[in-house]
């Protein structure tokens, strides 16, 4: 056998397997299942409609192919179910008249980016900010806040995994912010009192 | 045999280049070409010359020095998080119904460059820090980002934060800040590795631009609801009039809403500043 050919073949195999292993490490698939790792806590007594808008669904980062709008649309109802007593899902603010909701929760993407490192091993950050609005059935804002989710890894890492970690960070922080918001708890209490009064009035 | 030899040269280099650039391994591509004898015919002579040179200690020392210097200039930029004092610690501050809002236009070039890693003032953008603190024990306040801006008395127009004036059209300008950092690595090198610092220069520029843009956006003032004891901070970026030497007819304005009552509270801070040349 031609020794030159043999030498080349060996080097090809070594080099190719090294590249393949590095490629595969970066190409593992990422789960699209909704995040469920929320903190178990007392839920807010409120029936909430999670409002998924066309604007939200269209939000994405074309450069890095991160469909953040779809991520949030998939996860917002699960987040709400872990935070409020009762949750329904609506589109573009269309709440059915038969559903007596206490509030409407609308997410909106405020910002999304991915930085890149100066080298393949340099730090790359995925940062996403979502503005959550909780409004009463008449559309008056009760609480609005912009929550930040972030994750970082080396630039050559699978950026979809990093984006998934940033999303989970954002959802966890969102649950904390909503659960601890004085304005929301105060509003929910008023709703309960109001419904009890209506019920007592009807009974009489 | 000739065909197989051809595959070991041009085609393999192409394949290697595709793999390496996909994985951001631009420098690996060059090293692979040098040390695996798979370089194209065009590089083969240079590779042989380089291998001969590498046997000399002077050459090794020279290359090591170049790599260290170029590597030192090729680290990923880091930006320290911005800190702020209490809202009432700023000269321009106001308290209404328990909500305190303080503002501070940043006009010192050195401070702007240190904070944002780019001279925003040179780009015609004035960063203004806004700090809001809720000192009410019972009331919450919603401060929408679109209600925090700069009112130009001459035109009567209130401009919200204009960050995109820098990040959308001046990406190349921002990217050039990276060129200085890698200038040390850009001097004469053996032909076979001349591509390496040039590749790093491009990556450094891209990296710097992405981090500068992120820093600007991350530190912008976003919509917040401040519960009792809560604090929010962020910058608004105001596009300065061309060739402006001073700002004397503008106000920083902010509006907060009490969600329980629906009442709004307005804040107004006159801007009377000289801009650096």
Chain A CB contacts of B5 under 8 Å are: 4
Q: Does A115 touch chain B (CB under 8 A)?
A: yes
Nearest residue, CB atoms, B23 vs list A120, A123, A186:
A120
Q: Report the alpha-carbon distance of residue B99 to residue A26 in Å, rounded.
A: 49
Q: Report the alpha-carbon distance of residue B92 to residue A190 in Å, rounded.
A: 37
pTM summary value: 0.76
Chain B CB contacts of A186 under 8 Å are: 140, 260
Q: Does the distance separating the beta carbons of B8 and A183 come in below 8 Å?
A: no
Q: Does A193 touch chain B (CB under 8 A)?
A: no
What ipTM does this complex have? 0.85
The answer to whether the CB of B112 falls within 8 A of the CB of B234 is no
Q: What is the 8-class DSSP label of residue B37?
A: S
- For residue A140, count other CB atoms closer than 10 A to its CB: 10
pLDDT (tens, 9 = 90+) of chain B, 277 residues, equals: 444 444 455 655 565 555 444 444 444 445 555 555 554 555 566 667 666 766 677 766 766 665 655 554 467 888 778 889 999 999 999 999 999 999 999 999 999 999 999 999 988 899 999 999 999 999 999 999 999 999 988 888 888 887 765 554 334 334 333 332 332 333 333 333 334 444 456 788 889 999 999 999 999 999 999 999 999 999 999 988 877 777 788 999 999 999 999 999 999 999 888 877 7
Strand B231-239 to B141-143 pairing? unpaired
Q: Which structure tokens are listed for B259? A: 């969600």
Q: Does A181 touch chain B (CB under 8 A)?
A: yes
Q: Report the alpha-carbon distance of residue A49 to residue A86 in Å, rounded.
A: 9
């Amino acid at each position: 056998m031609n020794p030159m050919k043999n030498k080349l073949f060996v080097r090809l195999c070594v080099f190719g397997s090294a590249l393949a292993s590095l490629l595969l490490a970066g190409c593992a698939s990422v789960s699209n299942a909704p995040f469920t790792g929320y903190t178990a806590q007392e839920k807010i007594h409120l029936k909430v409609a999670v409002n998924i808008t066309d604007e939200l669904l269209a939000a994405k980062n074309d450069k890095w192919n991160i469909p953040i709008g779809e991520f949030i649309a998939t996860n917002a109802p699960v987040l709400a179910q872990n935070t409020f007593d009762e949750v329904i899902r609506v589109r573009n603010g269309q709440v059915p008249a038969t559903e007596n909701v206490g509030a409407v929760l609308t997410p909106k993407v405020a910002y999304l980016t991915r930085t890149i490192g100066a080298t393949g091993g340099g730090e790359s950050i995925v940062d996403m900010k979502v503005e959550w609005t909780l409004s009463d059935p008449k559309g008056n804002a009760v609480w609005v806040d912009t929550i930040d989710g972030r994750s970082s890894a080396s630039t050559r890492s699978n950026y979809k995994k990093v984006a998934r970690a940033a999303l989970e960070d954002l959802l966890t922080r969102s649950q904390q912010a909503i659960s601890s918001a004085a304005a929301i708890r105060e509003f929910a209490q008023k709703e309960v009192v109001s419904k009890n009064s209506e019920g007592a009035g009807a009974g009489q | 045999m000739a065909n197989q030899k051809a595959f070991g040269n041009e085609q393999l280099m192409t394949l290697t280049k595709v793999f390496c650039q996909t994985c951001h391994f631009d420098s690996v591509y060059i090293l692979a070409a040098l040390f695996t004898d798979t370089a194209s015919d065009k590089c083969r002579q240079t590779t042989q010359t380089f291998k001969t040179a590498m046997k000399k200690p002077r050459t090794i020392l020279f290359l090591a020095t170049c790599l260290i210097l170029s590597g030192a200039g090729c680290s990923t930029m880091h930006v320290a998080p911005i800190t702020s004092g209490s809202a009432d610690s700023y000269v321009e501050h106001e308290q209404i119904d328990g909500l305190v809002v303080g503002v501070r236009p940043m006009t010192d070039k050195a401070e702007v460059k240190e904070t944002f890693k780019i001279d925003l003032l040179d780009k015609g953008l004035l960063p203004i820090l806004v700090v809001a603190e809720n000192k009410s024990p019972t009331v919450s306040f919603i401060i929408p980002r679109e209600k925090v801006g700069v009112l130009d008395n001459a035109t009567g127009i209130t401009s919200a934060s204009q960050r995109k004036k820098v990040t959308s059209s001046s990406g190349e300008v921002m990217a050039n800040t990276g060129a200085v950092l890698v200038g040390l690595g850009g001097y004469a090198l053996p032909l076979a590795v001349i591509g390496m610092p040039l590749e790093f220069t491009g990556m450094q520029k891209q990296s710097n631009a992405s981090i500068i843009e992120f820093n600007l956006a991350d530190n912008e003032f976003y919509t917040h609801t401040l519960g009792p004891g809560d604090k929010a901070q962020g910058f608004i970026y105001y596009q300065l009039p061309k060739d402006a030497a001073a700002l004397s007819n503008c106000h920083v304005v902010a509006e907060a809403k009490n969600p329980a009552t629906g009442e709004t509270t307005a804040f107004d801070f006159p801007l009377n500043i000289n801009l650096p040349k």
